[in-house]
Amino acid sequence: MIDFNLSEEHKQLQEKARKFAKEVVSPAAAEHDRSGEFPYEIAKMAWKEGLLNSHVEEKFGGPERGSLATCIIAEEISAACSGIGIALDANALAQGPLIVAGNEDQKKRFLQPMTEKAMFASYAVTEPDAGSDVSRLSTTATRIDDKTYAINGLKWWITGGGVASWYFVLAKAEGGASGFIVPADSPGIVRGPKEENLGQHASNTVRVAFEDVRVPIENLIGKEGDGFRIAMKTFDYSRPLVAAAAVGVARTALELATNYAKRRKCFDKKIIKYQGVSFKLADMATHVETARLLTWKSAWLYDQGLSNTKESAMAKAYAADYCMKATIDAVQVMGGYGYTMEVPMEKLMRDAKIFQIYEGTSEIQRTIIVSSLLRGR
Ligand SMILES: Cc1cc2nc3c(=O)[nH]c(=O)nc-3n(C[C@H](O)[C@H](O)[C@H](O)COP(=O)(O)OP(=O)(O)OC[C@H]3O[C@@H](n4cnc5c(N)ncnc54)[C@H](O)[C@@H]3O)c2cc1C
């Protein structure tokens, strides 16, 4: 039996997120894009509305909604502003390692507080020499006694890093790459200034230096040497979410371009009557639909407890690549108007690019898909 309908619960959630996006996120999008200010107030409102912490289990105060629900929310918020969307979603990525492999005590200490008030956390894996190739990690976690580690290293491009209350940090310990939760107020943490990025200006990306930061052994997730597996497993859960955000941006580009093409006249005809324009819109609509189907399927697999590594890589690569293409084509459909800052089309195009880079580049997603094929999956 196959069923493409959303459940009543998912439909209600979609409606709620759409209303929030329209009433709260859309009106603030241009200003956050201009100022680059972090959307604290919007995050607080989203938290109050119950739109954050979707994966957190009920026993720790969360709604335990699962991956598909998170994707539904992410598409709606990012359709209004993906900079604000990702500023909120960074929490989900940071929470991933705890959800995948944290123990009860760690979930209680770090996930539960996020359900009690609006707060932020970051996933700190990337370093100057370790992006796609995480094995080049140079941050170290040295055991200094039977209770404590000392962490030293520099993490780069950490989303939400300037506002986080804690970090998931991947560091090399004696037993191999290991994942730690590090409270942001630990002595020795130095946060850099906000990076000036091409798009998603509302999102806060910074460098975070760890200078002899003491971390109790209770904050080690799993065992020494489990870190790489945990960090990668987190992507099975976070990539559908990023793919959904890309679907949201592409969907808005399609809507704006279609509305414009229905109004704009050239050579006595509405431009939508020209195949050169209308076929672009038809292709965009097809890609949005395909990307959403792939995204929802990968999220559904995750929710069923089934392997989704290949499907989430497919969803992320497809949604990111076609989001980029959709926004470029949408600017073209709008001609000179699309290029001006009077309409949000150029913002969509700037915002789209990062989907092909973070959470694993589009090339890395393809290497994941190929390794699945090589294993006969
Ligand atoms: C705005 C922003 C936010 C981010 N947020 C976070 C965050 O919250 N936490 C975090 O840990 N990281 C974060 N990152 C880092 C991000 O995940 C990395 O930038 C990304 O993984 C790519 O790594 P890199 O930039 O070092 O590029 P590199 O790994 O140096 O890659 C450079 C190019 O080579 C290609 N390439 C590399 N290896 C291969 C291969 N085997 N086959 C084919 N092509 C290959 C890549 O696809 C890319 O095109 C963020 C980055 C940005 C820009």
Q: Kind and range of the H or E element at 180?
A: strand 176-183
State the CATH number of the domain containing residue 71.
1.10.540.10
Compute the distance from residue 228 Cα to the ligand 1 centre, in Å.
Answer: 16
Shortest-distance atom of ligand 1 to CA 132: 29
Report yes or no on 2 lying in a domain.
no
The amino acid occupying position 298 is S
Taking a C-beta distance cutoff of 8 angstroms, is the pair 215, 141 a contact?
yes
The amino acid occupying position 263 is R
Give the per-residue pLDDT at 1. Answer: 81
Q: 25 and 138 share a domain? A: no
Single out the residue in 87, 116, 145 at which a domain terminates.
116
Compute the distance from residue 358 Cα to the ligand 1 centre, in Å.
Answer: 6
Single out the residue in 224, 251, 281 at which a domain terminates.
224
Which residues, at least 6 apart from 240, have a Cβ–Cβ distance to it below 8 Å?
67, 70, 71, 295, 296, 298, 299, 302, 308, 312, 315, 316
Is 359 annotated in the active site?
Answer: yes
Q: Nearest C-alpha to atom 43 of ligand 1 is from which residue?
A: 363
- Residue 305: domain span: 228-374
Q: 237 and 370 share a domain? A: yes
Q: 162 and 92 share a domain? A: no
Around ligand 1, the residues with Cβ closer than 6 Å are 90, 122-126, 131-133, 157-159, 197, 205, 354, 357-358, 360-361, 363-364, 367
Q: What is the pTM of this model?
A: 0.97
Residues 57, 75, 359, 363: which is the catalytic one? 359
**Which of 136, 215, 154 minimizes the C-alpha distance to 183?**
215
Q: 216 and 262 share a domain? A: no
Q: 69 and 110 share a domain? A: yes
State the CATH number of the domain containing residue 203.
2.40.110.10
State the CATH number of the domain containing residue 340.
1.20.140.10
Report yes or no on 143 lying in a domain.
yes
Shortest-distance atom of ligand 1 to CA 161: 8
Q: 235 and 218 share a domain? A: no
Report yes or no on 167 lying in a domain.
yes
Give the per-residue pLDDT at 377. Answer: 79
How many CA atoms lie within 13 Å of 17's alpha carbon, on the beta-carbon side? 27
SS3 238: helix
Q: 236 and 367 share a domain? A: yes
Q: 178 and 242 share a domain? A: no
Report yes or no on 1 lying in a domain.
no
Give the per-residue pLDDT at 307. Answer: 95
Give the per-residue pLDDT at 283. Answer: 98
Q: 360 and 322 share a domain? A: yes
Report yes or no on 3 lying in a domain.
no
Report yes or no on 109 lying in a domain.
yes
Give the per-residue pLDDT at 239. Answer: 96
Beta bridge partners of 214: 150
Single out the residue in 91, 116, 141 at which a domain terminates.
116
Q: 215 and 248 share a domain? A: no
Q: Residue 179: which region, alpha, beta or left (left: phi > 0; alpha: psi -120 to 50)?
A: beta
Q: 236 and 368 share a domain? A: yes
Q: 107 and 186 share a domain? A: no
Shortest-distance atom of ligand 1 to CA 159: 8
SS3 197: coil
Q: Kind and range of the H or E element at 150?
A: strand 148-159
Q: Which residues of the chain have pLDDT under 50?
A: none
Give me the number of domains the chain comprises.
3
- Rounded to 5°, the CA angle 360-129-307 comes to 25
- Rounded to 5°, the CA angle 222-226-227 comes to 100
